[in-house]
């Protein structure tokens, strides 16, 4: 199942990329949401090959997911690969500079079932396609709004 959304952010592309690649901040935010995050790689700086193991509860069951940063092109593209027991997926974030103070972010998510129960869950999401896509877009818009807020707060 594929999802995609495009959002425009009132901030320079360098700032947006910096916010998206604040992996330590993302780890802290996930921890505040009850997700246990373990860094698996030994990289000193951000780049392809970074990986994490995440443990969380979803629908009352403990889940584990491993996420790897596959592609890291500064101020252009981030591509992640995610694997769990039941699902695999790819997340691509592409940045485009529209003007010195405006950035377009394209987010694409492709989720694939690995088991029959996962196939059934994805099928139920397909049946509620409009609501599922709206929720995905809303989450991305929320992140874009937060980046804009941080930029305005820092720029003032």
Beta bridge partners of 105: 7, 95
Q: Is 9 exposed, middle or buried (0-12, 13-18, 19+ CB in 10 A)?
A: buried
The helix, strand and coil proportions of the chain, stated in percent and rounded to the nearest 5, come to 35, 40, 20
**What is the pLDDT at residue 156?**
47
CATH, residue 115: 3.30.530.20
Counted domains in the chain = 1
Render each residue's pLDDT in the chain as its tens digit; 156 residues.
999 999 999 999 999 999 999 999 999 999 999 999 999 999 989 999 999 999 998 878 899 999 999 999 999 999 999 999 999 999 999 999 999 999 999 999 999 999 998 999 889 888 888 899 999 999 999 999 999 999 998 854
Whole-model pTM above 0.85?
yes
**What is the pLDDT at residue 137?**
95
Domain residues for the domain of 7 are: 2-155
């Amino acid at each position: 199942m594929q999802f995609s959304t495009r959002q425009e952010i009132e901030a320079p592309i360098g700032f947006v990329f910096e916010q998206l690649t604040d992996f330590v901040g993302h780890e802290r935010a996930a921890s505040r949401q009850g997700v246990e995050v373990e860094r698996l790689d030994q990289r000193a700086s951000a780049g392809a090959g970074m990986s994490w193991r995440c443990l969380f509860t979803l629908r009352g069951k403990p889940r584990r997911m491993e996420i790897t940063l596959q592609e890291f092109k500064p101020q252009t593209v981030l591509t992640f690969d995610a694997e769990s027991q039941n699902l695999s997926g790819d997340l691509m974030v592409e940045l485009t500079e529209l003007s010195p103070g405006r950035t377009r972010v394209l987010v694409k998510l492709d989720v694939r079932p690995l088991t029959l129960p996962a196939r059934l869950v994805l099928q139920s999401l397909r049946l509620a396609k409009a609501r599922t896509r709206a929720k995905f877009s809303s989450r991305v818009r929320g992140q874009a709004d937060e980046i804009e807020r941080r930029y305005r707060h820092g720029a003032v």
